[in-house]
Amino acid sequence: MKPHLPKSLYFLPLQHVWKKLPGGNWPQVEDLNKVLLQLPRKIKNYNNQEIQFVLQTAKPTNFHDSFEPRTFEHGQILVRPNNWHDLFNAIIWMTFPKSKAIVNKLNYLSLIQQKGSQRSKKGDALTLFDEDGIIVFSRRNHLIDLIINFQWEELFWNHRDAVQKNMCFVIFGHALYEKMLAPRIGITGKGVLISQIIITKDDFLDLDQIDTAIADHLLKPTTLKHGKDFCPLPVLGIPGWFSGSDKKSFYGDLSYFRPGRNLKKL
């Protein structure tokens, strides 16, 4: 049967694609490819090739048949059957196609450059973002400073109204979406902080403009050079994302809302 996607705030960006998938059974690659045809614009990789979802039945043994090269060289995205991880990856390709194409390109170039050696620091950072990334948009720099300085109670409780009015949190990583199917204390995203007016259209998220903003950020030469460039973000503290976050005492759990190293503002 078709898996259930909770109607939680953090899944909101994916709902427009999710609603197009047929009910009854777990979505197959044929279903995903049919959704591609229903979207308002063609989804393409960085080489301007239209993407296609392809069933993965065995682990690739050749470099050019593996995930990133196959996507970059042929526009074919491997999907394992009955797999939340790959299903979320496919949906994110249809939600943030510009950003996914850039991440795929950068990952591909990183793999080419390492030539079989240990993954580069940039390659590690790209993988972390693709798996567990969360974008934080804010039109108030002092709120970003609270994240940079790990002032979680000050941010999420004392400035709760300001956060809800002036910040927007958008999960990008497909592994993080998978974790949020069963939210538990300890789930942390790799935060990328962007000082920008929250992008909405008629009071709803403008996904196209969010995709463009993420893509523009990813193309900056100083972006995602090292895994330490991220801000660890305890996502369950975001107002409205977890039932326990409606109490001040929730933010007193220092095993989750940890003080930590200072980061440079991105």
1 in a structural domain = no
Q: Are residues 205 and 108 in the same domain?
A: no
**Of 54, 87, 116, which residue is a domain's last?**
116
In the predicted structure, residue 122 carries a pLDDT above the cut 90: no
Residues 116-128, mean pLDDT to the nearest whole number: 80
138 in a structural domain = yes
Residues 104-115, mean pLDDT to the nearest whole number: 87
Q: Are residues 149 and 176 in the same domain?
A: yes
Q: Are residues 111 and 224 in the same domain?
A: no
Q: Are residues 186 and 234 in the same domain?
A: yes
In the predicted structure, residue 115 carries a pLDDT above the cut 70: no
In the predicted structure, residue 263 carries a pLDDT above the cut 50: no
What is the domain count for the chain? 2
Q: Are residues 165 and 225 in the same domain?
A: yes
Per the CB < 8 A criterion, the answer to whether 67 and 60 are in contact is yes
261 in a structural domain = no
Q: Which two tokens stand for residue 122?
A: 């940039």
The β-bridge partners of 193 are: 136
Q: What is the pLDDT of residues 31-80, one digit of tens each?
A: 999 999 999 999 999 999 999 999 998 888 888 889 999 999 999 999 99
Model confidence band, residue 223 (pLDDT cutoffs 50, 70, 90): confident
**Of 93, 116, 139, which residue is a domain's last?**
116
177 in a structural domain = yes
155 in a structural domain = yes
Q: How many CB atoms lie within 10 A of CB 244?
A: 14
The DSSP code sequence of 50-100 is BPEEEE--S---SGGGSHHHHHHHH-EEEE-TT-HHHHHHHHHHHHSHHHH
Q: Which residues contact 257 (CB under 8 A, 6 or more apart)?
A: 152, 153, 234, 237, 251
Percent of the chain with pLDDT over 70: 93
Q: Are residues 133 and 101 in the same domain?
A: no
Q: Are residues 135 and 245 in the same domain?
A: yes
Instruction: Identify the weakest region by mean pLDDT among 12-16, 95-99, 210-214, 262-266.
Output: 262-266
72 in a structural domain = yes
210 in a structural domain = yes
Residue 61 is part of which domain span? 9-116
Residues 226-255, mean pLDDT to the nearest whole number: 94
66 in a structural domain = yes
